[in-house]
Structure 1
């Protein structure tokens, strides 16, 4: 308590504040014991998947707020401005944090899906066996060209990498978005959007009813349908591939029949925050028929896997 009071009276020079604001946040977080997950060129907080950091910058995709190192430490550690600066400068611990490297401006590459493998054997095995996705549901999306298995050569051309690719098409049926998910059950897993993907067109299904179901991830979308198969083709579904509202709003703009929105985001802190934020955005756009359907487990795939395990156990007991 006394240290906090003393810190409030510390005068920092502009140079000290500049150095604090330039600290490399991934390094700072790792040294504080935080776990970070790869997310394209960014790092995502394992404790809050809506927050990404890169260099000395951060962004909360749930609240659409972001900034530099000092306000990150203030917001996520509940510190005052002087205490945040002191922490970033090393404080009493004497730890020196490296500044973030300046990244050269890069030219945005045109969007392109990775090359497809000749079959989907690995993707089917992964989604059916490890994720318990219903075969008929998976086949329907695969036939529509919305899911395929990639075959991408490594940089030295000695290996071929296989991923599940979830495709998002625009209103003309042209692919504008792709989300890749590794299909290996051991070792490091990977998931992320293909470079230059347009967030408005992420993985979705268009039905004929007025219902739109909204998810964070493609596998959760498929899991929900697997759990609720009755007349599923009639309804519309969209995966945000995160928690940003862009794809949801594009669906509502393109398909004006949609009027009942069901938010099916994860049952964790980030998902609850995002559901609240998306409800507010929908209300601002004049949508009133909004409801939340939250899984009992952390997400819909966890619930599907649990249901499959329960069914398998019951079958074994009957035998």
Structure 2
């Protein structure tokens, strides 16, 4: 059948010439190499993978996770002697509420570095900085966005709440924009916890939930 091979005595079992896929028409099933081993040897997905790797479970050694200590120390960027560029960018260009901006500044979660960029800081339970993301304040030309070297994304930029709900955002500015919208609509009691993942990874959420076991939604 075209570029496929029919397996004798298996009633409509065809294997693609590349070996990458197969179809067993009489059973209305098919797939790739893993599914083939599962079907022919009656194995589950995990055991089929080990079979294709040519090893047993007890012999398989996964690649070790990188050790954080090997990354080197985390050091926050130097502070500028002013906040005016950060304040102008967030309030005037991004429309963030003034009180929201000043609140994060007062908590040392937001400042301006010597390159006139926003620095958003995440802390551990001892209030030691462990993570920081940087964003340019310019509104024209190239815009820089990135994490400070050796940042640990498990410790998010956050707004500490008092309820049993946590709101999750991709970036610090998204979080601050949400707080601004709440204030705009007259919601003065901001009880929910809020965190910015610094992307889409879930490590920050996992850490925050362990730190706040009362959160249930």
What's the secondary structure of 2:154's corresponding residue? helix
Task: Pick closer, same or farther for the CA change 1:138–1:210 going to 2, 3 Å.
Answer: same
Could you tell me which runs of 5 or more consecutive residues in structure 1 were left unpaired when the two chains were aligned: 12-106, 152-160, 261-319
Is 1:191 the counterpart of 2:173? The answer is: no
Whole-angstrom distance in 2 between the partners of 1:168 and 1:232 = 23
Q: 1:150 aligns with which of 113, 123, 138?
A: 113
Match of 1:218 in 2: 172
Could you tell me which runs of 5 or more consecutive residues in structure 2 were left unpaired when the two chains were aligned: 5-15, 20-69
Match of 2:96 in 1: 133
Task: Pick closer, same or farther for the CA change 1:246–1:129 going to 2, 3 Å.
Answer: same
Match of 2:76 in 1: 113
User: How many residues are aligned here?
Assistant: 152
> What is the CA-CA distance between 1:243 and the residue it aligns to?
0.4
RMSD of the TM alignment (CA)? 2.0
Q: Deviations over 1:39-91 (max 9, x none)?
A: xxxxxxxxxxxxxxxxxxxxxxxxxxxxxxxxxxxxxxxxxxxxxxxxxxxxx
What's the secondary structure of 1:199's corresponding residue? coil
> What is the CA-CA distance between 1:249 and the residue it aligns to?
1.2
Greater fraction of residues in helix = 1
Whole-angstrom distance in 2 between the partners of 1:257 and 1:9 = 57
What's the secondary structure of 2:121's corresponding residue? strand
What's the secondary structure of 1:110's corresponding residue? coil
Match of 1:249 in 2: 206
Q: Is the 8 A contact 1:225 1:232 kept in 2?
A: no
Q: Is the 8 A contact 1:208 1:236 kept in 2?
A: yes
What's the secondary structure of 2:139's corresponding residue? coil
What's the secondary structure of 1:136's corresponding residue? helix
Q: TM-score, normalised by structure 2?
A: 0.65
> What is the CA-CA distance between 1:231 and the residue it aligns to?
3.6
Match of 1:270 in 2: none
Q: TM-score, normalised by structure 1?
A: 0.45
Q: Is the 8 A contact 1:146 1:203 kept in 2?
A: yes
